[in-house]
Structure 1
Amino acid sequence: MTATDSALTGLAQGWCALSLLHGRIESHIERALQAGHGLSVREYSLLDVLSRQHSGPGGHLRMHQVADSVVLSQSATTRLVSRLEDRGLLNRYICDTDRRGIYTDVSEAGLALLAAARPTNDAALREALAEAARNPELAPLVTAVENTRTSPVPQLP
């Protein structure tokens, strides 16, 4: 095996560990949000992203920006928005300055559900990270995630 082969093996192992950590965290949060609030992780993420929009210039996100933020395709994001709108959690409206643009805002009911679900999400995340930290393969990744708390959160484009 050459040096390159062993480096790729290490890289692949790191990627597998990261994927495992993500999957475990997402599953744990999914169960907690479903049980406590009838929300999926994707629904929670969408409500969270949309709740951080503002009315000033560049404050509203276009659908492709929302899709990028919740890591879904644009068509899957549109379907998700439609489902949440049907539940009364989101409102869509035409952009005043560009009649082709459609914006989405979180409704009062959506904001209330998001506020109720946020502590559940945060607690489930802490629980999943604590559990993963006990696994020697995942512990360094958990440390890296925990260290990002002191770094500024990247802004949406």
Structure 2
Amino acid sequence: MTATDPSLTALADGWCALSLLHGRIESHLERALQRHGLSPREYSLLDVLSRQHDGPGGHLQMKQVAEAVVLSQSATTRLVTRLEDRGLLSRYLCPTDRRGIYTDVSGSGLALLTEARPTHEAALREALDDASRDPRLEPLVRVVESARTAAA
């Protein structure tokens, strides 16, 4: 295989398109969520935590949080600390394993998430609509939308 192999070029082009779509969506969400004082990562973390149920094992350990928001454990810890300092979430020791730390969204965090959710949804829809007009991104938008439809 050479650097000009068509299969490698297509793979690189696909990766570039995916990266471009992600960047456009992320910057669109960043601007929209600013009015709520949230970054897309902060919103994502609150959203993930809000979907957990009460009771034993119903909250996420820090490692699970890191996987859910696609950050390193150290970056996740910094993010959780920022949101904890703002009173939007809390951490507590796992009752059955003192080494484990759980994270849970607070009432204030839920209220902010509820307020920000329509903004997030509208910004995401607008970003996908804009991206669908770009021939390089339109097939990826269709994939995102079909995944959303399949999950519903």
Q: TM-score range by the shorter chain?
A: over 0.9
**How many residues align structurally?**
151
Q: Which residue of 1 aligns with 2:88?
A: 89
Q: CA deviation at 1:39?
A: 0.2
Q: CA deviation at 1:29?
A: 0.4
Instruction: Give the match's secondary structure for 2:136.
Output: coil
Instruction: Detail structure 1 runs of 4+ shifted over 3 Å in the superposition.
Output: none
Question: Secondary structure of 1:151's match?
Answer: helix
Following superposition, the deviation at residue 57 of structure 1 comes to: 4.8
**Residue 144 (structure 1) aligns with:** 143
Matches of 2:140 and 2:99, distance apart in 1: 43
Question: 1:56 deviation in Å?
Answer: 4.1
Partner of 1:29: 29
Aligned residue number for residue 9 of structure 1? 9
Deviations 1:124-157 (A, max 9, x none): 000000101111111111111111122238xxxx
Stretches of structure 1 lacking an aligned partner (at least 5 in a row)? none
Gaps of 5+ in 2: none
How far, CA to CA, are the matches of 2:53 and 2:133 in structure 1?
40
- Match for 1:44: what amino acid? Y
Equivalence map 1:68-147=2 (5 Å): 68-147=67-146
Over 3 Å counting, the alpha-carbon distance change for 1:93 and 1:57 in structure 2 is: closer
- Report % sequence identity: 77
TM-score when normalising by structure 2: 0.93
Using the alignment, how far apart are the partners of 1:7 and 1:57 within structure 2? Answer: 49
Query: What is the TM-score of this pair, normalised by structure 1?
Result: 0.91
2:19 match = 19
Using the alignment, how far apart are the partners of 1:40 and 1:96 within structure 2? 31
Output one character per residue of 1:3-25: Cα deviation in whole Å (capped at 9) or x when no partner: x8101100110110010000000
Corresponding position: 1:55 with 2:62: no
Q: 1:152 to 1:56 in 2, by over 3 A?
A: farther
